[in-house]
Amino acid sequence: MNEFYQGEWVWITGASSGIGKELVKQAYNQKANVLLASRKPKDLESIAKELGLAKGKYAVEKLDLEKYHDGSEFAKRCLKKYGVPKVVIHNGGISQRSLTKETNLATIEKIMNTNFYGAAELTRAMLPEVLGKKEIHFAVISSVAGKLGSPLRSAYSASKFALVGFFHALRAEEEKSGVFVTMVYPGFIQTNISKNALQGDGSSTGKMDAVIESGLPVQLCAHRILHAVANKQREVVIAGFREKFGLFLQTFFPSLFFKMIQKAKVR
């Protein structure tokens, strides 16, 4: 894997915690130069210090995905400063823990803006600047919830489904031009995603879901993402038996799956 990443720029959104932070660590260990992007640059500098990132081998840039119109300026600024990256990992996002009937429109908009429009606009803005110059690889962190609708996650699932449709279409349009897309579908991963998830009124839950706490290690998730990108895999599911079994049922026994998902413990 080292040869793929060595000396190349890897941009990672949502780099301040969870999967994003672990991706920074592992990409750097693969000899990549890493660009850390999130809403709070000071936090990113602290992470860079914690991980021992060497000066000149990393960069920190502010990017608030919810303010998705800023993606165009971010793309122009960073392309000018660092050139065309080898990999862009669209990792930033926020989850949800509320019934649809209890969720206000502002919360739905925040989730869609952060999870979908932020990634879509950054990608759209980059394309005219990179096409025909260098191969580029977009790794897009969707979710198992981007393959099947899950209770308490209607807006979250919608945003992750949207990523799949957008980037599948982009792949069909531009893979022949050197634009590669790896769609990543994590299941329950041991991060703070449930603590930071939004309730219907837009406030954070502050609670760790039992299914997250017992999920796959974040280190394994990040390793498999970087491995999939290096091998130009178009799709990768990173999940435990429970989530994979759900995907199997949805495909081959949809009626049974629907009965089970209604009763499933999803937090």
Q: What is the pLDDT of residues 221-243, one digit of tens each?
A: 999 999 999 999 999 999 999 99
Asked if residue 138 is part of any domain, the answer here is yes
Q: In the beta sheet, which residues pair with residue 183?
A: 140, 235
pLDDT band at 267 (very low <50, low <70, confident <90, very high): low
Asked if residue 266 is part of any domain, the answer here is no
**Is 266 a residue whose pLDDT tops 80?**
no
- Residue 163 exposure: Cα atoms within 13 Å on the Cβ side: 36
pTM of structure: 0.96
CA distances from 208 to 25, 179, 213, 214, 259 (A): 24, 37, 7, 10, 26
How much is the pLDDT for 59? 98
Domain total of the chain: 1
**What does pLDDT average to over the chain?**
96
Asked if residue 137 is part of any domain, the answer here is yes
**Is 105 a residue whose pLDDT tops 80?**
yes
Asked if residue 108 is part of any domain, the answer here is yes
Q: Is 156 a catalytic residue?
A: yes
Asked if residue 25 is part of any domain, the answer here is yes
How much is the pLDDT for 188? 96
Asked if residue 184 is part of any domain, the answer here is yes
Q: Which of 5, 68, 156, 185 is catalytic?
A: 156
Average pLDDT over residues 238-263: 94
Cα–Cα dist 31/34, whole Å: 9
How much is the pLDDT for 256? 95
Asked if residue 250 is part of any domain, the answer here is no
Average pLDDT over residues 1-14: 95
Asked if residue 262 is part of any domain, the answer here is no
